[in-house]
Amino acid sequence: MNKFYLTTAIDYVNGKPHIGHAYEKILCDVICRHFSQRIDDVYFLTGTDEHGIKIQKTADSREITPQQLCDENSSSFQQTWADLGIEYSDFIRTTQERHKKTVQKIFKKLVENGDIYKHSYKGLYCSGCESFLNARDLTADGLCPDHLKKPEEVFEENYFFKLTKYKDAIIKHIKDNPKFLQPDFKVNEVIKQLENIEDISVSRNKNSVSWGIPVPDDEEQVIYVWIDALSNYITALGYDTENPSDKFKKYWPANVQVIGKDILKFHAIYWSAILMSLGVELPQSICAHGWITIDETKMSKSLGNVIAPADILKAFELQEPDALRYYMVTSASFGRDGNYSDEDFKEKVNADLANNIGNLLNRSLNMLVKYFDGEIKSEFISNDDCILNAGNEAIINVQKLFDGYQIAEAANVIVEFANTVNKYVADNAPWTLAKEGKMKECGIVLYNVLEAMRKIAVMLYPYCPNISGKIFKQLSLEKSIKYSQIEQNKLQAGKITEKEKISPVFPRMDSEFATDKKKVK
């Protein structure tokens, strides 16, 4: 692998970011940070989806323009990602000229290829989904299953994309490429959806939706979400139907496109068909994550349980986002639904980050100061095979798990290695060795513990970059997070720390989260 390109779903800016949005972006940032430890060229794309009827209606209700609403809310998303330590390479907005111009070229290319045609249509439209639904998709009461609202019956003449033309090719691609759709338990779901697939509307009449990119050569129509929003993954790279940019040639196909399970159909089927029509290679993997519930209840504005990430950081008085980052991506296996609760958040990060990892470093450094004035002597540098082998095995396993995007499981490996080191300390009791005058043996134990902490800092970095940096600093090491440099950057003999420089890298959380006043309504 000489490059790694990851994309997120782009967030719809009809409202402010909540922890469901945050979960996906933190997850992707953790993945990208990990791969940046293994290769030099990682490109991470995220952004905002800024067209459609919901934005138009919300802007009208506030008596502002749709563009003003988009500017306001897109800025809110970008600020939230900065607060959560998310370091993307590019942020694409679908109202940017670089996107709009290319989308129009893509539309024209699809027309030239004979894959778009005009058709009068009567259908059931869900504004929440921004999608036309079939009667078989509805609940027994005739409601959209996701939004529990009755779709609007719409009669329009729109442009349609020949999705059915690519049905067999998509099925073949899925079967020939086992890693294309992840997790693998989603494959049968997509295959079943393909069995009943129909051509899709890719434009709306301006009388219905005016806030969108105009269809080339037809000012009465605007390009609908699937060609508009989905194309961001290549427009951001400078894709052009005639002369693609060097950046596009370098990074496409995406190594992984991470999306929520509710939009898997649109990516696995619609996006694949559009790319096939364009003659563009499909992404290597499309990974669908689960949802985040609040106290085991799906987030809903009507229930008042939609929580903003900033409110959690404020309620627990967290100056850095590491605890929230760690908790969010370890709350569930990739593809499964996760849950947020105040008590579980506090208990998990206190157990894993404060008690297990943080306390292990803190007491080991304090013993090094107490017994050796903070110095590792040359005679202490002797590897204990138990700890050395456990650490090397953890490093290998973490990388293997990240290769399969098993992010929560990789974190468990780190925690288990920290448990092993804590047991090593308990079994060897360096305080007893010092009391008995066995100072060299005591020093060897502390060296092995602190060397293990260095490896923990490397593995923990994607989840908790600030805590990882503090561990390196307290070990008096230059921040070195590349896996290729693990062996050459071992702790050396010399002064490591002084007592006044030792403080918990992650203090225990004792604040309670909050009342409804601190939740986003």
Give the DSSP H or E segment for 221: strand 218-223
**Strand, helix or coil for residue 215:** strand
DSSP letters, 442-478, are: HHHHHHHHHHHHHHHHHHHTTT-HHHHHHHHHHTT--
Write the single-letter amino acid at 35. F
Q: Check the CA dihedral 477-483-487-488 and report its sign.
A: negative
Q: Of 129, 287, 442, 464, which residue is the catalytic one?
A: 129
**If DSSP codes are grouped into helix, strand and coil, which group holds residue 184?**
helix
Give the rounded distance of the alpha carbon of 432 from its chain centre.
Answer: 46
Contacts of residue 381, Cβ cutoff 8 Å, sequence gap at least 6: 447, 491, 492, 493
Is residue 144 part of the annotated active site? The answer reads yes
184: exposed, middle or buried (C-beta count within 10 Å: 0-12, 13-18, 19+)? exposed
CA distance 345 to 468: 20
Q: Is the CB of residue 66 less than 8 Å from the CB of residue 59?
A: yes
Q: Would you call 298 a catalytic residue per the annotation?
A: yes
Check if 70 is active-site.
no
Token pair, residue 356, equals 């297990």
Candidates 147, 149, 423, 501; catalytic one:
147
Beta-strand relationship, 116-126 and 11-12: unpaired
**Catalytic-role residue among 175, 298, 400, 423:** 298
Distance from C-alpha of 275 to C-alpha of 481, rounded to nearest angstrom: 36
Q: Considering 28, 126, 287, 464, which one is annotated as catalytic?
A: 126
Is the Cβ–Cβ distance between 322 and 463 less than 8 Å? yes
Is 267 assigned a catalytic role?
Answer: no
Active site residue: 172, 249, 301, 490, which one? 301
Cα 423 to its chain centre, rounded Å, is: 33
Torsion of CA 172, 176, 180, 181, to 10 degrees: 70
Told to judge if 192 belongs to the known catalytic residues of this protein, a careful annotator would answer: no
The contacts found for 165-169 with CB under 8 angstroms, 24 or more apart, are: 165/115, 165/273, 166/272, 166/273, 166/276, 166/277, 167/194, 167/197, 169/276
Selecting among 21, 109, 455, 470, the annotated active-site residue is: 21
Choosing from 18, 100, 346, 455, which is the catalytic residue? 18
129 in catalytic set: yes
Rounded to an integer, what distance in angstroms lies between the CA atom of residue 424 and that of residue 449? 8
Rg (CA), the chain: 26
Q: How far is CA 411 from CA 78, 357, 400, 463, in A?
A: 27, 12, 12, 8
Q: Which of 32, 144, 442, 464 is catalytic?
A: 144
Residues taking part in catalysis: 18, 21, 126, 129, 144, 147, 298, 301
